[in-house]
Amino acid sequence: MKAMRLVIALLSLSSLFAQAPAARRAPSFALSDHTGRMHDLLDYRGKIVVLEIMSTACPHCKAFTGVLEQLKKKYPGKVEVLSIVNPPDTPQTMQAYLTATKSTSPMLFDMGQAAYSYVRSARVELPRVFLIDAQGMIRGDYAYGESTKPFFEKGGVIAEVDKLIAKK
């Protein structure tokens, strides 16, 4: 019993000194948009991809859409924004959202499998954003919350993409 406590204590202590997790390859997917057109993540290789898992009913997602449009204007041809929605969203709610927000990014319909392969959990805080570099590696994972508000609301996503562009 004492040995088990010692092992747990050592593992806990070692986690304090652990470095940030290494980048992992972005799981591939092929999903259709509200018109039925297929989008494959591999089609965007060579560009930085901002992958957003969101809901059309999410107020934070709606506000973030404007920030993402600014990002696309700053880096035309270098950055692609892909938004993934899951039920209860439908092609109709997707179209209404795109019209209301004037978003020019593809909104892709998922039944949960693609989102799960990124989040690795059935519970997803929305919006959830993954920054994928030009080689297809995940370089950032951001869930909306108090500590990440600047990323979503103050243009922090743009600063993070600036860093990825500089490394490229």
Count of domains for the chain: 1
On whether residue 108 sits in a domain, the answer given is yes
pLDDT for position 125: 82
Domain range for 134 is 30-167
On whether residue 21 sits in a domain, the answer given is no
Pick the closest to residue 103 from 143, 45, 158, 64 (CA basis).
Answer: 64
On whether residue 2 sits in a domain, the answer given is no
Calculate ∠ Cα 157-161-165, nearest 5°.
Answer: 170
161, HSE (Cβ side, Cα atoms, 13 Å): 28
Tens-place pLDDT, residues 100-123: 999 999 999 999 999 999 998 767
Local structure of 150: helix, strand or coil = helix
This prediction has a pTM of 0.85
pLDDT at 48 over 60: yes
| Residue 15 banded pLDDT, cuts 50, 70, 90 | very low
On whether residue 13 sits in a domain, the answer given is no
Place of tokens 């990014």: 105
On whether residue 146 sits in a domain, the answer given is yes
pLDDT at 1 over 70: no
Spatial distance between the Cα atoms of 115 and 160, rounded to a whole number of angstroms: 22
Q: What is the CATH number of the domain that holds 84?
A: 3.40.30.10
On whether residue 45 sits in a domain, the answer given is yes
On whether residue 40 sits in a domain, the answer given is yes
On whether residue 160 sits in a domain, the answer given is yes
Tens-place pLDDT, residues 118-161: 998 767 789 999 999 999 999 999 999 999 999 999 889 999 99
Q: Which residue has the higher pLDDT, 10 or 114?
A: 114
Average pLDDT of span 31-53: 96
Residue 143 pairs in a beta bridge with 128
Spatial distance between the Cα atoms of 127 and 60, rounded to a whole number of angstroms: 7
